[in-house]
């Protein structure tokens, strides 16, 4: 039986210190978390550690990772993680990149710039593109809906998203609201997408899996399909009984579909 644990560490890149969760042993896997932060995906990170050495940093401004002055865009995150990928690859070999939600957007932005050290790419419920018209809402506006409506869009079971703030320690409360603030900053204008990204996705040539949650209404149904169609040879998989955060709501199913996909990646690309 695998010892499924995560270990907290720090990753230093370009004078930036990133709080990091690590798990497992094997070929390297960089896990880029979604809007709730890395700690919220701890179970999925530990499960992925059954087959990989998982490195899961908290993005600058999330968790305990400080945000440097002037670091305020998805571009900043993409270039930062290209540096992380390069460093990890130099020590451990080509890196599998798994991104979720806003982390999937970051992963896609990094990949269209360079895949030199990337073996495979998994984009789960990715933000970052817009496929509808000017008046079409492809991504739910987090800032104009009630908490109940947001939970209903994010989760198959809206009760999964209920937070008991009274039970949270001061540090947890601070990090929760830092995560919300950072999501707003990185994704504010234009809202949760880069108008140029869709036209650049064809540059991605590594094996790619798009994951969607069956009950995800935070994104329009057309958005993950557009990612699949824009990336040559990309596959699409649906996680049942999950919304926008299948890595949190259904971590076992999520890691199973990711692991099955990666098991079919040619050895020359995933060693």
Sheet containing 235-239: give its strands across.
7-13, 16-23, 52-57, 27-32, 95-100, 118-124, 208-213, 235-239
What CATH number has the domain bearing residue 198? Answer: 3.40.50.1820
What is the number of structural domains in the chain?
1
Q: Which of 20, 100, 78, 77 is nearest to 53 (CA)?
A: 20
Taking only the tens place, the pLDDT of each residue in 23-35 is: 999 999 999 999 9
pTM of the model: 0.95
Q: Is residue 126 part of a domain?
A: yes
In angstroms and rounded to an integer, the radius of gyration of the C-alpha atoms of the chain is 17
Q: Is residue 17 part of a domain?
A: yes
Q: Is residue 95 part of a domain?
A: yes
Cα separation, 41 vs 64, whole angstroms: 15
Q: Is residue 76 part of a domain?
A: yes
Residue 127 has pLDDT above 50, yes or no: yes
Q: Is residue 2 part of a domain?
A: no
Q: Is residue 234 part of a domain?
A: yes
In this prediction, residue 267 carries a pLDDT of: 59
Write out the residue range of the structural domain in which residue 116 sits: 7-269
Q: Is residue 132 part of a domain?
A: yes
At 42, list the tokens.
């701890």
Taking only the tens place, the pLDDT of each residue in 134-189 is: 778 899 999 999 999 999 999 999 999 999 998 989 999 999 999 999 999 999 88
Taking only the tens place, the pLDDT of each residue in 206-255 is: 999 999 999 999 999 999 999 999 999 999 999 999 999 999 999 999 99
Q: Is residue 1 part of a domain?
A: no
Residue 118, CA distances (Å) to 26, 59, 96, 103 in order: 15, 19, 6, 16
């Amino acid at each position: 039986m695998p010892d499924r644990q995560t270990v907290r560490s720090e990753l230093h890149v370009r004078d930036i210190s990133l709080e990091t969760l690590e798990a497992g042993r094997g070929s390297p896997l960089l896990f880029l978390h979604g809007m709730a932060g890395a700690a919220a995906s701890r179970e999925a990170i530990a499960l992925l550690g059954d087959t990989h050495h998982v490195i899961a940093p908290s993005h600058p401004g999330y968790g305990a990772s400080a945000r440097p002055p002037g670091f305020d865009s998805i571009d900043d995150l993409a270039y930062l993680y290209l540096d992380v990928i390069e460093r990890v690859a130099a020590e451990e070999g080509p890196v599998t990149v798994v991104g979720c939600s806003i982390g999937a957007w970051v992963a896609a932005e990094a990949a269209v710039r360079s895949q030199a050290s990337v073996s495979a790419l998994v984009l789960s419920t990715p933000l970052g593109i817009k496929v509808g018209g000017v008046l079409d809402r492809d991504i739910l506006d987090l800032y104009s809906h009630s908490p109940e409506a947001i939970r209903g869009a994010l989760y198959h079971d809206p009760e999964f998203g209920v937070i008991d703030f009274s039970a949270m320690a001061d540090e947890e409360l601070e990090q929760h609201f830092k995560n919300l603030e950072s999501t707003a900053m990185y994704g504010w204008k234009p809202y949760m997408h880069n108008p140029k990204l869709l036209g650049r996705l064809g540059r991605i040539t590594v094996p790619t899996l798009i994951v969607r949650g069956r009950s995800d209404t935070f994104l329009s149904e057309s958005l993950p399909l557009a990612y699949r169609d824009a990336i040559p040879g990309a596959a699409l998989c649906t996680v049942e009984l999950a919304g926008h955060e299948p890595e949190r709501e259904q971590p076992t199913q999520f890691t199973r579909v990711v692991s099955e996909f990666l098991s079919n990646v040619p050895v020359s690309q995933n060693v």
